[in-house]
């Protein structure tokens, strides 16, 4: 259980990389940020639809009805939380005035935490069943956590002049992901079974698809309106697919 938990910690900790970039040095270009978000979405989509969902459906004792039902439950659960809980998105913060910055920062942190929490569960669950796939998920999560951390820390620092506040707000969102992984470790460690793991994997696959389509791709478009986020998505899919082929070839060798 230590390796999946470590991957979750590293993926969540990538938020601090973006936070430091937001308060020191030059901000990465919108094109690079948009591409990285699309790249992360491509990795998540390929792993969710081509690896996690098929593996869940093929698990011993898993029925197609339960497998697809859990996948749809993951989709609907994500969208339900996204619509019901009040939150802001990273592109909302730059327009906030210093007067209401605290409220906006809280809503923004809640919004990113809302997305990061299931990502921590996804990273842990995937790595628990397949280390190679877990590495891919951790990479995708870390890639889009960097611009998320930057998107929070940069505007807060510009508005308040406080590096401590910028790191604080960005750090909370990253800790939500670590919390998701820790809770998955505490709960699933004693209850895990092949059918339960397969059901959770199917639900997590649904969450990852919803996250990619509803959050990462639109955010990539908002950050860089002049570029097509599909390029990053296709590159992410290609790189992840190639890496899986190489890993499988190494296993056979």
Two tokens at 134? 């877990």
Rounded Cα distance, 199 and 53, in Å? 9
Q: pLDDT per residue over 142-172, tens digit each?
A: 877 777 777 667 666 655 667 888 788 788 8
Q: Where are the domains of the chain?
A: 2-252
HSE-CB of 134 using CA atoms within 13 angstroms: 22
Q: How many CB atoms lie within 10 A of CB 148?
A: 30
DSSP 3-state assignment of 225?
coil
Q: So what's the pLDDT on residue 102?
A: 57
Q: Are 157 and 139 in contact (CB under 8 A)?
A: no
Largest CA distance in the chain: 62
Q: pLDDT per residue over 9-68, tens digit each?
A: 888 888 888 788 777 755 667 787 778 778 878 877 887 888 778 888 988 888 999 999
């Amino acid at each position: 259980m230590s390796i999946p938990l470590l991957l979750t910690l590293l993926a969540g900790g990538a938020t601090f990389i973006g936070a430091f970039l937001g308060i020191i040095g030059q901000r990465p270009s919108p094109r690079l940020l948009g591409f990285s978000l699309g790249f992360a979405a491509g990795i998540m989509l390929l792993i969710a639809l081509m690896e996690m969902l098929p593996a869940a459906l093929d698990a011993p004792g898993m029925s197609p009805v339960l497998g697809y039902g859990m996948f749809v439950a993951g989709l609907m659960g994500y969208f339900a939380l996204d619509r019901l809980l009040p939150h802001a998105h990273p592109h909302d913060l730059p327009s906030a005035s210093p007067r209401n910055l605290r409220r906006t920062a809280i809503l923004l942190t809640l919004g990113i935490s809302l997305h990061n929490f299931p990502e921590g569960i996804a990273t842990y669950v995937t790595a628990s069943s397949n280390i190679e796939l877990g590495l891919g998920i951790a990479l995708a999560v870390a890639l889009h956590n960097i611009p998320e951390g930057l998107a929070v820390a940069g505007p807060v620092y510009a508005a308040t002049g406080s590096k401590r506040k910028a790191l604080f707000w960005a750090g909370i969102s990253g800790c939500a992901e670590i919390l998701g992984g820790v809770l998955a470790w505490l709960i699933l460690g004693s209850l895990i079974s092949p059918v339960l793991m397969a059901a959770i994997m199917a639900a997590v696959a649904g969450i990852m698809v919803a996250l990619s389509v509803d959050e990462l791709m639109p955010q990539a478009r908002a950050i860089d309106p002049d570029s097509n986020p599909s390029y990053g998505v296709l590159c992410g899919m290609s790189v992840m697919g190639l890496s899986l082929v190489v890993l499988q070839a190494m296993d056979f060798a």
